[in-house]
Chains A and B, each alone.
Chain A
Amino acid sequence: MIANVISVLPVLIIGTIVVLVIWFCSTKDGP
Chain B
Amino acid sequence: MMGRSHMVTGATAVLLVEPHQPWPVLVATAALGAAAALLPDLDIESSTVSNSLGPVTRLISRGVALVCGGHRGGTHSLAALAFVAFLVVGPKVPAPYALAVVIGYVAHMIGDYFTGNGISLLWPFVRRRFGLPILGHTGGWREHAAVGAVVAGAAWVAVAA
Contacts and interface: CB of A to CB of B under 8 A. Distances in A.
A10 B20 CA distance: 9
Interface residues of B, number: 32
Given A8-B158, A30-B47, A18 B31 contact: yes
A4 B159 contact: yes
Chain B contact residues: helix, strand, loop or mixed? helix
A26 B3 contact: yes
A29 B158 CA distance: 31
B7 A22 contact: yes
Contact of B8 (A10, A12, A22, A29): A22
Interface in A1-31: 1, 4-5, 8, 10-12, 14-15, 18-19, 22-23, 26-31
Given A4-B160, A22-B34, A14 B1 contact: no
Contacts of B6: 31
Interface of A: 1, 4-5, 8, 10-12, 14-15, 18-19, 22-23, 26-31
